[in-house]
Chains A and B, each alone.
Chain A
Amino acid sequence: MPALSPPSDVAVSLIQVAKSYGAVEVLHPFELQVAEGEFVVLLGPSGCGKSTILKMIAGLEEASHGEIHVAGELVNYVRPRDRNVAMVFQNYALYPHMTVRENIAFPLKMSRQPRLKRAVIDERTAEAADIVDLTPYLGRKPAQLSGGQRQRVALARAIVRQPAVFLMDEPLSNLDALLRADMRTSLLDVHARIKKATLYVTHDQIEAMTMADRVVVINAGRIQQIGQPHELYTAPANTFVAQFIGSPRMPLHSLTVSDDGALRIADATLALDPAVVLEPGATVTVGLRPSALRATTSGSACFFGEARRRDYLGSDSYLEVDLGDGASAMVRAEADAEVRPGDIVHVDAAPGAIHVFDEAGVRICGASVGQREQ
């Protein structure tokens, strides 16, 4: 199974890469491959090491161990300028003393092999400015631009040199929420147009879920899961992924497997994958995906319990429902549902609503609700 060198349609390949500062390991050894044209998002809380991965690929930090290949070439000992990658920074990193035009043209002017002609530089600068809709602002200095415009200058500066890989380090997190949504779309448009491998770092799960072909979830220097957004949501590899992705956050409950090998929340028995056998008496963790739980009025519901709190979101509401035995769930309801704290709510669980994890937090299987004991 192991190939000696990465296949040629792989734009970036990280092999056994690790990073430590002295004795402090900030990234444990991991592997990651990004295909040509793929949009991969590195997602995790701040300080998890995701930006370090970008910096190592860019050559701004040295990998303590392992190999980094860009476009099939080992780049560990290649200077950043020769790695053929472009990076967009959170604070944009525009050259404040240069105009927008000079900022965008800078990478082209720096290019030595081949040295570019003036006309080529002008043409490619104009083209890049056009892609990000900056043509009217070419003569301005960064200080005279809005946050979104600055971000687009940074993007144009990355596009203009036609790199093998784009690295983006939280490029949208300095923008306000509305603008961020707009910029997400324009970023994806640009990506669709130039189709280059992109590694995108963010701590915002919405960005990750909406933009990524694949998401790499990282926590405390370890990769938790790599997968398509859909996989992360429906089959989270562990409790960290399960809680980090999805809003509201998935509540977790510790349960003990009963003597007959069954799992019960309050008086509902969970139907597990028939292949899974749980040790009686073992402790497992169960998570209930809020978006897959619905408040209903029918009596055939899976759970019922007392509503404690209602969060109104406009499109719908979420109810915190006390299921009994110390377990509670966040449950989706109609936006205008007339539920007050103290009301009894019936809860319907869609297939895949329930996830079972072992004691270490690793996922065992999904579950649905079987029969309810009356």
Chain B
Amino acid sequence: MTDVDTGLSSTQLTLSPEEHRRLRRRYRRRTTLTAYAFLGPNLLAFIAFLLIPVVWLFVSTFRTGGVLGPAEFVGLDNWRDTFADPLARTSIRNTVVYSAMAIPAVFVIAMVLALALRTISRGSALIRVALYLPTLQPAVVAAFIFVFVLHPDFGVINYAIRGFGGDPINFLGDTSLALPTIAGIEVWRGTGFWTMMFLAGLTALPSELYHAAEIDGAGAIRRFVRLTLPLLRPTFYFAVIFATIVNLQLFDSVFALTDGGPVNSTISVSLYIYRSLFLFGDIGFGATLSFLLVITVLVLTGLQTFLLRDRK
């Protein structure tokens, strides 16, 4: 197409291309500096309390000593020791088994409660507060509360069991029951949190779709499976990632209730890391175990991201 008359007068650039490049670079540098000023506090905290510790951790997996004596390079010895250590294996297994019990349980219960909460309107605010109370407690407090509830002599559950003529159960003293019991306590504490999370996700769903689905004759269960669950995918993505990160760090309730017992049936990775800090003069072992935990969580969350993310 031919050139169009511009109106007043034709003109040329007033600056040379080099000058333009120089000025543009200066201008962009200024916006970039402003942005980094906004990011500054977080970047500093990130470097001091995440980046340096992780790098330190990685380096320490190849070294020994460091607390009392000078550090010494030992190659892959720590890694070999860690994988050979039966207790390390037990702690990893316990942590994974615990997460596999606690996460699905808390999600199912929380989803049921969230659906129920969405159905009702009167009294909803009060119920939400009540459901959230356990979440507000530190995990150690929740753990101690359940010592009362589960106590073999004066706990309410065993009181009921005796009332029906059964034998009292020592929930935390039994090697096969202790870990599920701790999972149960964490489910009790976490239910409120995930209920609110799922309720928020449900509330944000577009209602037009539901009306369309109802007109199409879809029943309640079908609507939930075909419509609600897929639509809640972003919420689930966040939930699964966050729950994995939190649960693989299981420590507080184990520390408060069983200290890993009975017979190491509840020892978790975090508890073992904690012990290694104080019980061994050598930090190489604890560092390796810690680094292993970091990698496990990173890999798991990466995998979950790959599986659950919205594909665009």
* A contact residues vs B (CB 8 Å cutoff): 1-7, 10, 13, 15-16, 30-35, 62, 66-67, 69, 74, 76-77, 214, 222-226, 237-238, 360-362
Contacts and interface: CB of A to CB of B under 8 A. Distances in A.
Contact of B14 (A7, A74, A238): A74
Nearest to B10: A2
A327 to B, nearest CB: 26
A361 B27 CA distance: 42
Contacts of B10: 1-2, 31
A7 B8 CA distance: 9
A76 B13 CA distance: 12
A31 B24 CA distance: 21
Interface of B: 1-2, 4-15, 20, 23-24, 26-27
Nearest to B30: A79
B14 to A, nearest CB: 6
B1 A360 contact: yes
Main secondary structure of the interface of B (DSSP, over half): loop
A77 B24 contact: yes
Given A13-B11, A76-B27, 10 more contacts: A15-B11, A15-B12, A15-B14, A32-B7, A77-B23, A214-B7, A223-B4, A238-B1, A361-B1, A362-B2
A7 B6 contact: no
Contacts of B1: 222, 224, 238, 360-362
Contacts of B5: 226
Nearest to B11: A15
List the 5 shortest-distance A-B pairs measured between CB atoms, nearest first: A31-B6, A77-B27, A33-B8, A77-B23, A15-B11
A78 to B, nearest CB: 8
Given A35-B8, A226-B4, A226-B5, A66 B23 contact: no
B23 A76 contact: yes
Contacts of B2: 362
Determine which residue in B5, B7, B11, B15 has the highest number of CB atoms from chain A within 10 A of its CB, and name it: B11
A113 B15 CA distance: 28
A1 B9 contact: yes
Nearest to A9: B8
A30 B6 CA distance: 8
A224 B6 CA distance: 11
B28 to A, nearest CB: 8
Nearest to B20: A76
Given A76-B24, A77-B24, A238-B1, A4 B14 contact: yes
A225 B4 contact: yes
Contacts of B15: 67, 74
A79 B51 CA distance: 35
Contacts, number: 72
Contacts of B14: 4-5, 15, 67, 69, 74
A31 B20 CA distance: 18
A223 B7 CA distance: 12
Determine which residue in A31, A35, A67, A74 has the highest number of CB atoms from chain B within 10 A of its CB, and name it: A31
A67 B24 contact: no
Contacts of A62: 24
Contacts of A3: 9, 11
A6 B76 CA distance: 72
A74 B4 CA distance: 23
Contact of B12 (A4, A7, A74, A224): A4
B232 to A, nearest CB: 29
B4 A224 contact: yes
Contacts of A224: 1, 4
B246 to A, nearest CB: 35
Contacts of B13: 15-16, 66-67
Contacts of A7: 8-9
B18 to A, nearest CB: 14
Nearest to B17: A65
B6 A226 contact: yes
A109 to B, nearest CB: 21
A109 B92 CA distance: 60
A13 B2 CA distance: 21
A74 B9 CA distance: 17
A33 B7 contact: yes
A372 B53 CA distance: 93
A85 B217 CA distance: 56
28 contacts: A4-B11, A5-B11, A5-B14, A6-B8, A7-B9, A15-B12, A16-B13, A30-B4, A31-B6, A31-B10, A33-B7, A33-B8, A33-B9, A66-B13, A67-B13, A69-B14, A74-B15, A76-B23, A76-B27, A77-B23, A77-B24, A77-B27, A214-B7, A222-B1, A237-B4, A238-B1, A361-B1, A362-B1
Contacts of B23: 76-77
B4 A77 contact: no
A179 B10 CA distance: 39
Contacts of A67: 13-15
Contact of A10 (B4, B8, B24): B8
Contacts of B6: 30-33, 226
Nearest to B26: A77
A214 B9 CA distance: 15
A138 B1 CA distance: 51
B32 to A, nearest CB: 13
Contacts of B4: 30, 223-226, 237
Contacts of A35: 8
A160 B23 CA distance: 31
A123 to B, nearest CB: 33
A334 B5 CA distance: 39
Contacts of A362: 1-2
A111 B140 CA distance: 55
A7 B14 CA distance: 13
Contacts of A1: 9-10
A6 B10 CA distance: 9
A30 B23 CA distance: 22
